[in-house]
Amino acid sequence: MICMIIKMIKIFLILLISMNILVNIVVKSFIYKRRVFTININSQTRCINSNQYTLENLLNLCDTTDKIKSIASNSDGLKYLKTILSHKRAMLYFKQSSTRTFLSFQNACNILGISTSEIRDISTSSETKGESELDAIKTFSQYSDLIIMRHPSNNFIYEISDNLPNDTRIINAGSGTDQHPTQALLDFYTIYKYGLENKKIAFVGDLFRGRTVRSLSLLLNKVKGTKLYFVSPKQFQIKNDILDKLNVDYELTDDFDKIIQEVDVIYMTRLQDEYKNEGINDNEIIDTSKYSINSNNINKMKDDAIILHPLPRRNEISVEVDKDKRAKYWQQCENGMWVRVALIMSMFGASKL
């Protein structure tokens, strides 16, 4: 009798374990099935200039970013993401100082399982032996599937793009005073989360040398009902090459006190004074003190407006503003990593999540 009971318990336990395994398989395959939502891939293998993206590309990227964030919200999902591009290698070539963009790309690669190598200090490169920069980067491309480059020149990114084989993915992580397309993509995503259409957006600060504003205004130019305000002293106003490309309504002004009350998004920027001889007379004293947000003027803003900044900041946003619900620049910074994950995935055509 006891033997019989033990036998039945054993059978029961075996059944229980098998059921558990079965349920696990079914649930997991369901989860993975749900993950297999095809993302609409932009499939451009280069990210050089923000103007290369259509509105459809941008909305796809935002959608992909949302999906990636939701998958990454649990450890199972994170493990899965790490398998997606684990056979790829990336080279980060940063010839200009960077903390956020560098780390954000490094972490984005890491999330996708991409192994990275880096050159940040040119004194360790064979360029010091007289090798041309183009040759140096051609060499790196032999070891990497993706080159992520930040460079002080406005044009070198185009030279690289023209000279590397088509299957080498290239991302412009900032080219001189001209372009910073991935910053623009993450800024766009951040605005998208608050609603894109019919927004009044003010760019404030050094718009003459600020590459983030140049790149982002070209993206916002594709959105219905946008009105852009370029707010700065006239010496720091945005250049005509960007204005000439705008189809949306825009206004140039130096009256921040008026604009702060009217707009839905305020995009602050710092003085880009590391660029010398770029058309600004450094000896001229230009008063920039009124182009800042602080406890004296923040209450003039609309209640549902948001404040963005590509960072690093100086005194154009006071620290006390950080506590205000409209301050979204830290969130913007975090969004950067996820948008870059989405971008890299789509550049490799990794369309299944």
Q: Which residues are catalytic?
A: 100-101, 129, 150, 180
189 or 348, CB closer to ligand ASP? 189
Q: Residues with Cβ < 8 Å from 342, sequence gap 6 or more?
A: 61, 64, 65, 68
60 or 332, CB closer to ligand ASP? 332
- How much of the chain is in helix, strand and coil states, percent to nearest 5? 45, 15, 40
C-alpha span between 121 and 127 (Å, rounded): 11
Task: Determine the size of the site formed for ligand ASP (CB under 6 A).
Answer: 7
211 contacts ligand ASP (rule: CB under 6 A): yes
288 contacts ligand ASP (rule: CB under 6 A): no
Instruction: Tell the smallest beta-carbon distance from residue 312 to ligand ASP (Å).
Output: 6
Structure tokens at 243: 């204005």
168 or 179, CB closer to ligand ASP? 179
336 contacts ligand ASP (rule: CB under 6 A): no
60 or 316, CB closer to ligand ASP? 316
C-alpha span between 111 and 77 (Å, rounded): 10
Return phi, psi of residue 200, to 5°: -100, 120
Site for ligand ASP in 115-174 (CB under 6 A): 174
Instruction: Tell the smallest beta-carbon distance from residue 196 to ligand ASP (Å).
Output: 22
Instruction: Tell the smallest beta-carbon distance from residue 82 to ligand ASP (Å).
Output: 27
Instruction: Tell the smallest beta-carbon distance from residue 183 to ligand ASP (Å).
Output: 6
Dmax over CA atoms of the chain, in Å, equals 102
Instruction: Tell the smallest beta-carbon distance from residue 297 to ligand ASP (Å).
Output: 21
C-alpha span between 329 and 335 (Å, rounded): 10
180 contacts ligand ASP (rule: CB under 6 A): yes
Of 176, 181, 310, 336, the residue at the interface with ligand ASP (CB under 6 A) is 310
C-alpha span between 257 and 292 (Å, rounded): 10
Site for ligand ASP in 3-22 (CB under 6 A): none
46 or 211, CB closer to ligand ASP? 211
Contact 166, 45 (CB under 8 A): yes
Is residue 46 helix, strand or coil?
strand
Is-cis flag, bond preceding 312, omega within 30?
Answer: yes
Which residues share a beta bridge with 146? 90, 169
212 contacts ligand ASP (rule: CB under 6 A): yes
Contact 89, 140 (CB under 8 A): no
C-alpha span between 266 and 269 (Å, rounded): 10
267 or 348, CB closer to ligand ASP? 267
Fill in the DSSP letter of residue 39: P
168 or 212, CB closer to ligand ASP? 212
Instruction: For 126-150, give the DSSP string.
Output: GGGGT--HHHHHHHHHHH-SEEEEE
Fill in the DSSP letter of residue 335: H
205 contacts ligand ASP (rule: CB under 6 A): no
Residue 186: C-alpha distances to residues 58, 101, 340 (Å): 10, 11, 8
Q: Which helix (H) or strand (E) holds 200?
A: strand 200-204
Of 270, 316, 335, 353, the residue at the interface with ligand ASP (CB under 6 A) is 270
Residues that bind ligand ASP (CB under 6 A): 174, 180, 183, 211-212, 270, 310
